[in-house]
Amino acid sequence: MNTVLRVGFIPLVDAASLIVAAHKGFAAAQGLALDLQRQMSWATIRDRIATGRLDAAHMLAPMPIAAALGMPKGAPRLIAPVALGYNGNAVTVSERLWSAMVEQGATETGDPAANGAALARVVQARPAGSGPLSLAVVFPFSPHRYELLDWLSGAGLVPERDVRLPVVPPPFMADALEAGLIDGFCVGEPWNSAAILGGHGRLATTKAALMGRGPEKVLALRADWAEAHEESALALTRAIVGAARWCDAPENREELVALLAASDALDCPPEQLRPVLSGELPLDATRRLCAPEAIVFHAEGATEPSLGHAEWFYRQMTRWGDAPGGAEARAAALACFRPDLYARALG
């Protein structure tokens, strides 16, 4: 009899290892059955984990760190025994902003330096009183926010003065862009492809271009649950690592597309999934940008919840005023990532 674990996920390509672990026998091989429960917001994922209505969940890597630092107040401690891959995000802008950026030298290479500089020149050229541009992110404590902040400030822009970073839920991004409520966004796949293939946006840059191999999501468990169910936590870690390796293999791509497109998974057209899984991103409805490592599930340490990654996120959170500084806070932040459990699971 397999142990049933309730696992929350948000419809995003980087939930793939969870979906594959559930459907391709990786969980069963570890004595687990995964009851996957799709959720519509990161806050709901966090609250359902907190109240024990979910045992484990797909989570933005900075969220366990935020919880460890008392945000929100009273949040239980979470740990990440395994990461869910590198990259998967991109920055998409409206047709209008893209035209302005092209006039200022932006190119269809996704090059963050050139396109960031073009964006900065667009901001400088805006008439006085036209207000800041808006580039949406998916959650306050998100890799997306820190990636955009890094990109914008690197281009000499002052976040919140020159460019606002409002939160818009991923399923509404394309609509918000089309309606002119935002000028662009940073979101995980397939939501860039959905907007670009739908004719509502243009690709500005990718997380792979911005960060190289950037950590993104983790599997989150409640710290006290993981202590009480250590065998399950280790078994789940093994199942996810096995599934992530399967997801990386090119020969599994079409089957992965079908698993992710299913109505109980991401429930989206397969053509929105194929670009990122083939190492590409759409430039417009027909043309593709070659984007190596657009998403990496297992290779190059992508499943390891490294302390270096925790440190990077913590530094971003203090840099942008989202988290307190100090040795104690830093130690609490780093303690959420558990390479020791990862090593034990695989050892």
Partner 1 sequence: MQSKSLNVAVVDTNPIRAAILCDGLQAAGIETVHVIRDTTGVMRVLADLAPDVVIIDLEDPNRDVLEQMFQVSRSVSRPVAMFVDQSDASMIEAAIDAGVSAYIVDGLRADRVKPIVDMAISRFNAFARLRRELDETRQELADRKTVDRAKGLLMRAKGLGEAEAYALLRSTAMKQSRKIIDVAESIILAADLLGPKGDAS
Applying CB under 8 A, the span of 1-9, 28-36, 160-168, 200-208 interacting with partner 1 comes to: 160-168
Question: Minimal distance in Å, beta carbon 85 to partner 1?
Answer: 21
- Beta-carbon contacts of 165 under 8 Å, excluding residues fewer than 6 positions away, are 134, 135, 136, 137, 145, 148, 149, 159
Asked whether position 153 contacts partner 1 by CB under 8 A, the answer is no
Candidates 25, 132, 171, 279; binder of partner 1 (CB under 8 A) is 171
Asked whether position 6 contacts partner 1 by CB under 8 A, the answer is no
Please identify, using beta-carbon distances, which residue of 147 and 293 lies nearer to partner 1.
147
Please identify, using beta-carbon distances, which residue of 71 and 299 lies nearer to partner 1.
71
Neighbours of 179 (CB within 10 A): 10
Question: Minimal distance in Å, beta carbon 48 to partner 1?
Answer: 6
Please identify, using beta-carbon distances, which residue of 185 and 246 lies nearer to partner 1.
185
Question: Minimal distance in Å, beta carbon 277 to partner 1?
Answer: 25
Write the interaction track for partner 1 spanning residues 40-79; mark x where CB under 8 A is met and - where it is not: xxxxx--xx-xxxx-----------------xxxxxx---
- State the number of binding residues for partner 1 (CB under 8 A): 30
Q: Tell me which residue of 90, 273, 265 sits closest to 185, measured CA to CA.
A: 90
DSSP state of 137: B
Please identify, using beta-carbon distances, which residue of 74 and 347 lies nearer to partner 1.
74
Neighbours of 37 (CB within 10 A): 15
Question: Minimal distance in Å, beta carbon 235 to partner 1?
Answer: 26
- Beta-carbon contacts of 223 under 8 Å, excluding residues fewer than 6 positions away, are 76, 77, 78, 79
Q: Tell me which residue of 33, 57, 16 sits closest to 252, measured CA to CA.
A: 16
Question: Minimal distance in Å, beta carbon 88 to partner 1?
Answer: 18
Q: How far is CA 39 from the centre of its chain?
A: 15
Question: Minimal distance in Å, beta carbon 66 to partner 1?
Answer: 8
Question: Minimal distance in Å, beta carbon 116 to partner 1?
Answer: 23
- Beta-carbon contacts of 207 under 8 Å, excluding residues fewer than 6 positions away, are 87, 88, 89, 90, 143, 147, 186, 214, 216
The dihedral sign for the CA sequence 276, 277, 279, 285: negative
d(C-alpha 330, C-alpha 324), whole Å: 9
DSSP state of 162: T
Asked whether position 167 contacts partner 1 by CB under 8 A, the answer is yes
Please identify, using beta-carbon distances, which residue of 183 and 322 lies nearer to partner 1.
322
d(C-alpha 151, C-alpha 316), whole Å: 12
The dihedral sign for the CA sequence 264, 266, 267, 271: negative
d(C-alpha 190, C-alpha 197), whole Å: 10
Please identify, using beta-carbon distances, which residue of 30 and 142 lies nearer to partner 1.
142
- Beta-carbon contacts of 302 under 8 Å, excluding residues fewer than 6 positions away, are 83, 85, 86, 213, 244, 296
Asked whether position 181 contacts partner 1 by CB under 8 A, the answer is yes
Stretch 236-275 residues interacting with partner 1 (CB under 8 A): none
Asked whether position 139 contacts partner 1 by CB under 8 A, the answer is yes
Question: Minimal distance in Å, beta carbon 187 to partner 1?
Answer: 12
Return the ∠ at Cα 164 (arms to 84 and 218), rounded to 5°.
Answer: 10
Please identify, using beta-carbon distances, which residue of 248 and 322 lies nearer to partner 1.
322
d(C-alpha 8, C-alpha 29), whole Å: 20
Applying CB under 8 A, the span of 147-155, 167-175, 237-245, 286-294 interacting with partner 1 comes to: 167-175
Stretch 292-331 residues interacting with partner 1 (CB under 8 A): 322
Candidates 32, 36, 168, 256; binder of partner 1 (CB under 8 A) is 168
Please identify, using beta-carbon distances, which residue of 119 and 317 lies nearer to partner 1.
317
Q: List interacting residues with partner 1 (CB under 8 A).
A: 40-44, 47-48, 50-53, 71-76, 138-141, 166-172, 181, 322
